[in-house]
Amino acid sequence: MRTTRTHTTLSVRRTTRDLLRSFGAEGESCDAILVRLMDVAENTFWERQVRILKEFHFLSFQEA
């Protein structure tokens, strides 16, 4: 199966673009930077959810 890449344009201020690039390595595309940052954000979100579930004391129906 052949995969084709479709690109689009996101309208951002130059300062935003420059800030985004500061998060990347030399030669890393804005797309790659965004994908990596979103992956980190998603992992951080789920790690936090797991921590909350482990730390939170749930009441049983009998206790409620």
pLDDT value, residue 56: 81
Residue 8, classed as helix, strand or coil, is coil
The pTM score is: 0.68
In a domain, 1, yes or no: no
In a domain, 34, yes or no: yes
Q: How far apart are CA 15 and CA 40, in angstroms?
A: 22
Mark the ranges of the chain whose per-residue pLDDT is less than 50. none
In a domain, 39, yes or no: yes
Contact 24, 32 (CB under 8 A): yes
Contact 30, 20 (CB under 8 A): yes
Tokens describing residue 10:
């996101």
Q: How far apart are CA 59 and CA 62, in angstroms?
A: 8
- In the chain, the number of structural domains is 1
